[in-house]
Amino acid sequence: MTKLHDLYQQQGQSPWLDNLRRDWIHDGTLQGWIDKGVRGVTSNPTIFQKAMTAGDAYDDQFRELVHGGKTVDESYWAMVDQDIRDALRLLRPVYDESGGTDGFVSLELGPAIARDTAASTAAARQFHQQIDQPNLMIKIPGTAEGIPAVRAMVAEGRNINITLIFGLPRYAEVMEAYIGGLEDFDGHPSSVQGVASFFISRVDTEVDRRLDAIGTEEALALRGKAAVAQGKLAYKLFRETFSGPRWEALVAQGAKVQRPLWASTSTKNPAYPKTLYVDTLIGPDTVNTMPEQTLEDFEAIGTVARTIDQDVDEAERVFQQLAAVGVDMDDVARVLEEEGVASFAKAFEELSSNLAEKAAALK
């Protein structure tokens, strides 16, 4: 037994792995993580950019695709498709044993359509139909344009991971899209699973930058507190939203909550504890997706204890203090959302350029 097993069995939080690489699928590394207690996998354009440009794991398939007349873009998605299918197969036992609660693999839409509702809806539907596995989750960015796509996909009974959430107002919209989608669904709600990926560490990075610029004693005393505080307030909002007559009517039909998923939980500031964004956000009906180093750090020095709903009053005070010193958390969320979309787009462009060079050499 590992701490990752304890995290789920004792506290009801599912640890997922925030990485996917073909060599890990083939050499047993991914299965090893599953054996250690990992209950799901998340991927994004940056993860695939790193995987496909390191080593030669994709070269044989890419060569075959290019020689077969596929474009660089078509080749990329074909390679992604293969990795996702293989990971889904490895995690299917977790899906079956959990009754469909875990065992998911998340595939993110192309970043170019992050602000296109119709294109996001069509692409999410296409991937679900193309791969057609019950433990597939499609990641739709939680942009203003992504929200209607989320509701539309949930209304079709599809599993959706809403990603790039950085603020409480947008999180409220994401939960409403899920509940509204379930109400629109002409089927059995028990077949639908969803998670809402709330990014954590990047919030401290941006807020700390603003606090340093303000420079007062009061401001500097708040460094490293915003992200965890916001996570705790998000969980409070989650509990409030998934309760009451409206939600209970869906529960009576078998509906399951849209779990908060803590993403970006590796520590960016070396001055902060390595497991800061894991230890402080543990609680039932949640997911924490971690890169392999953070999983290893948690196993080595992490603490398994319910913390997500502890010191919530202090979290509210932190938000009040941030506002008092001049940090606008709504603007922080806006900036981080723009940066998040741009970061994935940049990774996708760099990978496309790299693959284009490889394709030219092969031809």
Q: Over 80: is that where the pLDDT of 356 sits?
A: yes
| pLDDT tens-digit map of 236-281 | 999 999 999 999 999 999 999 999 999 999 999 999 999 999 999 9
* pLDDT mean over 122-147: 96
Number of domains in the chain: 1
Which of 3, 139, 232, 274 is catalytic? The answer is 139
Q: Please state the separation of Cα 12 from the chain's center in Å.
A: 18
- Look at residue 351 in the predicted model and tell me its pLDDT: 81
Q: Over 80: is that where the pLDDT of 218 sits?
A: yes
- Look at residue 360 in the predicted model and tell me its pLDDT: 81
Q: Are 268 and 201 in contact (CB under 8 A)?
A: yes
| Kind and range of the H or E run holding 331 | helix 329-362
| pLDDT tens-digit map of 288-318 | 999 999 999 999 999 999 999 999 999 999 9
Going by C-alpha positions, the residue among 217, 165, 230, 229 that lies closest to residue 194 is 165
Q: Over 70: is that where the pLDDT of 363 sits?
A: no
CA quadruple 163, 168, 173, 175: dihedral sign: positive
d(CA 99, CA 10): 18
- Look at residue 345 in the predicted model and tell me its pLDDT: 86
Burial of 247 (0-12, 13-18, 19+ CB in 10 A): middle
Mean pLDDT, all residues of the chain = 95
Domain that holds residue 71: 3-362
Specify the CATH number for the domain of residue 109: 3.20.20.70
* pLDDT mean over 320-348: 94
Would you call 139 a catalytic residue per the annotation?
Answer: yes
CA quadruple 270, 272, 273, 279: dihedral sign: negative
Higher-confidence residue of 145 and 49: namely: 145
| pLDDT tens-digit map of 59-70 | 899 889 988 989
